[in-house]
Amino acid sequence: MKVSYPNHKEPTPEELQELEKLRTIIKRATADGVLTKGEIETIVAAMYANKKVTVQ
C-alpha cells in the first residue's frame, strides 16, 4: 500500500545537513551496541534542536 502526504515538501539543503548530523550522532552512539542515558539525551536534543519535529 502506497502512502502519500498531500502537504509533503522536499527537505531544504539546511534540513538535509541537519539530518546528516543527526545520523552521525546516532551512528556514533550505537557503534558499541549500548545506548547510555547521555547518548539518548544527545540524540533527543539534536532531534528537537530546530523545533521542526513532525510525525513524518
- The reply to whether 27 falls in a domain is yes
pLDDT for the residue numbered 20: 94
With contact defined as beta carbons under 8 Å apart, do 12 and 43 qualify? no
- The reply to whether 1 falls in a domain is no
Question: What's the whole-model pTM score?
Answer: 0.74
- The reply to whether 40 falls in a domain is yes
Question: How many domains are contained in the chain?
Answer: 1
pLDDT in tens, 15-51: 899 999 999 999 999 999 999 999 999 999 988 887 7
- The reply to whether 23 falls in a domain is yes
State the Cα–Cα distance between residues 27 and 5, nearest whole angstrom.
28
pLDDT band per the 50, 70, 90 thresholds, residue 56 = low
pLDDT band per the 50, 70, 90 thresholds, residue 13 = very high
- The reply to whether 24 falls in a domain is yes
- The reply to whether 33 falls in a domain is yes
Parent domain of 43: 13-48
- The reply to whether 56 falls in a domain is no
- The reply to whether 20 falls in a domain is yes
